[in-house]
Amino acid sequence: MSYRQSSYDPRAWNPQGPPFRPYDAKQKLGLAMMLVGALLALAFLVGEAGLMARWKGGTMPGSLLTLVGSLLLYSRRQTIAPEQQDAYRARQRRAAWWGLALAALAMLVGFLLTPSATHR
């Protein structure tokens, strides 16, 4: 039996839900990595704002740590029942739009608060 005679669909996608709970050791490690990465990023931003000593180095620390931690956290995910897939996708779309709007607002605020190099 070849793939043309089977019900195999290479473009089929089953939506993955939230991570399984209770977390296993790998997911707990990922969560800890995400928290440490977020705290490092927050310390960097506080230093850039002048509220504490500046971070040694030019790049924002913790971003790779947060990314790897999220990969570990989402390594085991729940499946969504077929009757709930449309509602779950709509909720994901709504969350994505809110995230994009928040990112655009953050960029606008950052642009407005950053002194321009041409207005010295």
Is 9 among the domain residues? Answer: no
Is 59 among the domain residues? Answer: yes
Q: What is the mean pLDDT of residues 11-16?
A: 72
Same domain, 100 and 68: no
- pTM of structure: 0.68
Q: How far is CA 2 from CA 6, 12, 57, in A?
A: 7, 18, 56
Q: Which domain holds residue 91?
A: 83-120
Is 10 among the domain residues? Answer: no
Is 29 among the domain residues? Answer: yes
- Measured CA to CA, the distance from residue 27 to residue 74 in angstroms comes to 7
Out of 46-55, 71-80, 108-117, the most confident range is 71-80
Same domain, 112 and 64: no
